[in-house]
Amino acid sequence: MGEENMRKRNIKDTREEDGQSVQSDEPQTTNLQKQVGLISGICMIVGTIIGSGIFISPKSVLANVGSVGPCLTIWAACGVIATLGALCFAELGTMITKSGAEYPYLMEAFGPIPAYLFSWTSLLVTKPSSFAIICLSFAEYASAPFYPGCDPPQVVIKCLAAAAIVVITIVNSLSVKLGSYLQNFLTAAKMIIVTVIIVSGIVLLAQGKTDNFKDSFKDSKISISSLSLAFYNGLWAYDGWNQLNYITEELKDPYRNLPLSIIIGIPLVTVCYVLINISYFTVMTSTELLQSQAVAVTFGDRVLYPASWIVPLFVALSTIGSANGTCFTAGRLVYVAGREGHMLKVLSYISVKRLTPAPAIIFYGAIAIIYIIPGDIETLINYFSFAVWIFYGLTIFALIVMRFTRKELKRPIRIPIVIPVIVTLISLLLVLAPIISAPEWAYLYCVLFMLSGLIFYVLFVHFKFHWAQKITKPVTMHLQMLLEVVPAEEVTE
């Protein structure tokens, strides 16, 4: 009864604060609200994809293929793959309109164990560590102007990255709208720097700076392993193409806005990426680009001269925008896993005042801060990121499986079966490529860590030992009172 009274009292207080009528005919339930429209959806995709990747990956893609022509081809092809993958997710997202992207899709197709292993790997490794790396990239670019001629101290970078995580976590815990508006602003900011680089490149091309594009396929080193690794690095820059599926429950008219956001957002990113790479090559040869410590900063120094300081500033805004989008969406994954009983129940609770999955977002931010402490986590992420494509492939394979096993499900969007088949084969190649080209023990450790989630699943989810519940129940109760959160209400259609 106390929980119910607290819910009603706080919703009443919230309405008064927001200027809503307490006697509203449509009561606002304690649940995730549909507040993300088409423009915000496009901004979420563009803002999350265009982060630190386009300012780091060009070097890795070029290093694997060796020349300008194949490099630009790879960037365009990566955009096509991301679009095809996102279209597969559009069918899944409109067929199963639950937040959490891969998690509910794997649950519906294969049952709880693959879904649990996905949430286990994502919640504890891939997503918080990538969030940490994005914030570390932000910290490096943000602190660079204050340390001309030398690298910023690691303590400064780590403290700034931790501060960024805390601020983003607080913003997304306070309000869905605030997080969405911040994403729109940061997306606008990053489109400014993208536009500056693209326009500068077009002007230089018009002035005849085309020397680096002559014999663009000369000295190429094309092999299955080099192409696979080039795609691997390129697709890392496109990672985020599935982010909108994490917040399906908060999309207005998801049957229309989800596919439209994908069809507009990802091709827009692809065009930007290809044009940015062309701009880089107007002022840098392949050798110079490979020797550059920060490609965008080198471009700014050579083209923008006295105003070159705007490059690290806007790149910093770009990366913080990507981090915000990642936090906004990944917090929903924690929420869904908690709701299904695969994580602590309190993680699925909703703030009665703010109507956000605050415990899930705070948990996600805390894990991300832990990943900042080690000296170098980028190498670790390279090994664990191949696990992401295991689950991308498995999820899209789930789409093929459900065409035959779940024929009764309504499919507002139905894509040709050849598309998920192609994407499944590509993801299989991406998973096997680094193991074949450069086999290392680290890949085995990654697989073993993923499978270790089965131990926790058997102990705490399948058998649900009473001693574990006795420990977690008082913890849940105290956190519930501290954070003013309650279980989400069932939505009656």
Return the structure tokens found at 467.
């001693």
Rounded CA separation 64/200 (Å) = 27
Rounded CA separation 219/387 (Å) = 32
How far, CA to CA in Å, does 440 sit from each of 192, 232, 443?
A: 41, 17, 6
CB-based contact 405:95 (threshold 8 Å)? no
3-class DSSP state for residue 487? strand
Q: What share of the chain is helix, strand, coil (3-state, %, to 5)?
A: 75, 0, 20
- Length of the chain equals 493
Q: How crowded is the C-beta side of 318, counted as CA atoms within 13 Å?
A: 26
> What percent of the chain lies above the pLDDT cut of 70?
85
3-class DSSP state for residue 341? coil
Beta bridge partners of 349: 487
CB-based contact 211:55 (threshold 8 Å)? no
Helix axes 378-405, 127-143, angle to 10 degrees: 140
Burial class (CB in 10 A: 0-12, 13-18, 19+), 379: exposed
pLDDT tier at 380, thresholds 50, 70, 90: low
pLDDT tier at 490, thresholds 50, 70, 90: low
Supply the pLDDT for residue 23.
35
pLDDT tier at 82, thresholds 50, 70, 90: very high
Lowest mean pLDDT among 119-123, 423-427, 481-485: 481-485
Supply the pLDDT for residue 248.
67
Instruction: Classify each residue of 444-474 as buried b or exposed e, where b means 16 or more C-beta atoms within 10 Å of its C-beta.
Output: eebeeebeebeeebeebbeeeeeeeeeeeee
Q: Which of 253, 242, 254, 260 is nearest to 100 (CA)?
A: 242
User: Ramachandran region of residue 409, left (φ > 0), alpha (ψ -120 to 50) or beta?
Assistant: beta
Return the structure tokens found at 465.
């030992």
Rounded CA separation 179/325 (Å) = 8
Cβ contacts of 488 within 8 Å, gap of 6 or more: 30, 31, 32, 339, 348, 349, 350
CB-based contact 364:130 (threshold 8 Å)? no
**Sequence-ordered alpha helix ranges (H) in 96-153:** 102-110, 112-121, 127-143
How far, CA to CA in Å, does 333 sit from each of 159, 245, 368?
A: 27, 10, 15
CB-based contact 190:50 (threshold 8 Å)? yes
Residue 11: pLDDT above 50? no
Query: DSSP for 398-412?
Result: HHHHHHHH-TTS--S
Return the structure tokens found at 293.
């410590």
Supply the pLDDT for residue 35.
61
Residue 401: pLDDT above 90? yes
Residue 283: pLDDT above 80? yes
Rounded CA separation 381/439 (Å) = 16
Rounded CA separation 93/83 (Å) = 15
Supply the pLDDT for residue 416.
92
Rounded CA separation 14/352 (Å) = 8
Quickly tell me which residue has 């005849």 as its tokens. Answer: 208
Supply the pLDDT for residue 331.
65
Q: How crowded is the C-beta side of 54, counted as CA atoms within 13 Å?
A: 38
Phi, psi of 246, rounded to the nearest 5 degrees: -75, -20
Sign of CA dihedral 246, 247, 248, 253: negative
pLDDT tier at 279, thresholds 50, 70, 90: very high
CB-based contact 358:178 (threshold 8 Å)? no
Residue 101 identity: A
pLDDT tier at 22, thresholds 50, 70, 90: very low
Quickly tell me which residue has 């365009």 as its tokens. Answer: 76
User: Which is more confident, 445 or 277?
Assistant: 277
Highest mean pLDDT: which range of 40-49, 278-287, 467-476: 278-287
CB-based contact 69:217 (threshold 8 Å)? yes
Cβ contacts of 166 within 8 Å, gap of 6 or more: 365, 369
